[in-house]
Amino acid sequence: MKIGFIGLGIMGKPMAKNLIKAGYQLVVCDLVQSAVDELVALGAEAAANGKEVASKCNVIITMLPNSPHVKTVVLGEGGIIEGAKAGSVVIDMSSIAPLASREIYAALEEKGIDMLDAPVSGGEPKAIDGTLSVMVGGKKEVFDIYYDIMKSMAASVVYVGEIGAGNTAKLCNQIIVALNIAAVSEAFILAKKAGVDPELVYQAIRGGLAGSTVMDAKVPMMLDRNFKPGFKIDLHIKDLSNVLETSHGVGVPLPLTSQVMEIMQAIKLDGCGVEDHASILKYYEKIANTILER
């Protein structure tokens, strides 16, 4: 089967590589030529735009930064909708606003094109090793048909409801991740300032109720002062913007999420927007006048 893949960034490139490893033929497209060249070297075919990708593939995966990018690539001039045939499917694995997913779906449906919104969680490490979590919205029968493709990039692929439900689940995920990183930052700055070895605190509490995937992923990074982006602050701000827009639309106050959003905005102003979201730690270091390290 030939699959189109548009968006070869931090997440998209390793995801596309895992599809090639699984035996799929790819037609790829990205604004960064070096990323395209890297996939072509592995056997993929290059395309100039979404229209060309869709003209060559019945399955088109998009992995793009935000709602406007997906709308442009799918519905804009030279977009997927201009090249896709009736019966094709767009699997949008970007993290975008649920309302945007529904708008794109409605436009595609008029042309007889199916769509799944299938955002992922796990960051760059899990994209590389193919163990992402995928939460999927759309028609269940379409999900069933394309499950194996998504599973080639993931450890978990779960159907959560109609179109937009995937991105709603992802927004819930991003709330929990952001609040976890903030809580971990608070706790370990307290340990450090109180004169207790944070490495030993980590070993003491990680096996109890406070333990989490977030703690295991981010505390070692924090202790090593490693803020290389697996998931950038800028992208988490984008996700929390979508969270707050959606929550206001349905009438759900999110006081803790709003606070973490302001923390991220402060860190971005300090020049950390392109760093990993573990850089939330730097906000606490600044206000406590201490540095967390081994």
Residues designated catalytic: 170
Tell me if 63 sits within 8 A of 153, measured CB to CB: no
Locate 81 and state its tokens: 């909708």
Residue holding tokens 């302001």?
262
- What is the CB neighbour count within 10 angstroms for residue 207? 8
- The helix/strand/coil state of 50 is helix
Q: Phi and psi dihedrals of 231, rounded to 5?
A: -150, 115
- What is the CB neighbour count within 10 angstroms for residue 109? 12
Tell me if 4 sits within 8 A of 54, measured CB to CB: yes
Residue 127 one-letter amino acid: A
Distances (CA, A) of 255 to 86, 93, 175: 44, 28, 11
Q: How far apart are CA 54 and CA 45, in angstroms?
A: 13
